[in-house]
Structure 1
Amino acid sequence: MDRQTGGEADWPGREALHDLAACLRFYSRLPVPQMPGEGDPHRTPDFARLPRMLPLAGAILALPAAVVLAATWIGGLGPFLAATLAVGTLAATTGGLHEDGLADLADGLGAGGDRDRMLTIMRDSRIGSYGAIALFLGLALRIGALATLLDRIGAAAAIALVLAAALSRLAALAPMVLLPPARSDGLSAAAGRPTGSSLGVAAALGVALCLASLPFGLGLAGVAAMAGLSALAVWPVTSLARNKLGGQTGDVIGACQQVAEIAGLLGLVAAMAP
């Protein structure tokens, strides 16, 4: 007999599909339709369970940018223009969510002062000089890394972009797991922490995506460098958040994703050195 949930028959993979759809809605501007048997698609996501699908959601979010990267490279625009258009496409797909987090965190930590002052600055919608510098450097490093990869491995750089997007979102779970919310009234306070089983599924998906990328010219050393540096890059950001803010916020998580993505791409560049 079928189990019933919300008036709809249960089926294998139902919750995973719902979590994937919720991830795509929360982390992007994509018009994701309501899934069969899904409840209110606009409710606050369940972050205890939702993160298990983050690596797969990250890979899907990067697909339009990967297509743009490969198509413009093959079309003869050259590595710099192709990489710039791809990074622009990715930012448009996500609404600049993580870039905004990086800029806000840089503004808060750069301004200094006590914890409350830094958190107040991070909530300000205006961007300051530290945020602008961080945003510029983040975009420049991603564009430069992709342009270099196009020179060295050609259109396979599109696979690297997808894998970097997936691994960086997995790595960005670190502050959610290790730190308490820095604010009592922020989204991170209401979201809670991922469960151990959610983290296990997310890690398994990350490994599966790494293995799936191997036949596309990234090489074992390159994939290992991407995964290792993505994971390592979030620790300084997490430590700063612990020492300066007393916990994590959405901006800290967004900054971790950006730093992890940059580190992963740079690791692959180094591994693919001629």
Structure 2
Amino acid sequence: MSTLTYDGMAMVGRQLRRVRNSPGLAVLTQVMPINMLLFFGYVFGSALAMPGREYRSFLVPGLLVATAAGGIMTGMFQAAADSHRGVMDRFRTMPVSRAAVPLGQGVADLVVTAIGTVPLLLVGLAVGWRIHGSALEVAGAVGLLLLFRFACTSIGIFLGLLTRSEDAAGQLGASTFVLPLLSNAYIPTDGLAGWLRTLAEWNPISAVTTALRDLFGNAPVPADGAWPVTHPVAGSLVWSVALIAVFMPLAVRRYARGER
């Protein structure tokens, strides 16, 4: 077993124990989407006329992706906490692979996300959402969702290592809630103004949301629009892989340098 693999597994175990001992953030990030599903689905659902679609079935994939995008906030907060409490400095004095610490945090977050997504899916089924895709398509949708979560967590870890304090990380992380609002997660983009529609459709969240709706069989791929939403599976893969390729190496480099 390589040093990176061994150290990475140790870091994953450490992060999972951390979540178990301090579950508040994980619970909050999972409860919020359920509250939003019930609020938007029942309060606004009847007011949103979507020909040929039921709004709650349209909404659930968007909330899944919005939750995945929350990896920016959780990744940022956890990395900032470790950095400013001296945990990262302690790791640097140990014979631990430099890549293992950020990667371990990202992989542990995937495990927590995979488990935490189950309640949202169950509530979605309870309020009328249904899966019409094949088993292979559903597996592909889950894979895309987790890949995008890892990409968002990579961004969060890098930004968390850049912050000057935990408070700054918390404030910056909280501001990321606007990202799903600038996408098709909650409403279709075809009624938006031209420039705003373009911005929303090039938002990575829109590509992943469209891919999940298509793979779950909840809504067809739009015939017109920006390339990522007319080719959503390819767009999701390109966005996710590109974000990981950029931000995870930056996070590893930032951790290794140890600057604040």
Measured against the shorter chain, the TM-score band is 0.3 to 0.5
TM-score (norm 1): 0.33
TM-score (norm 2): 0.35
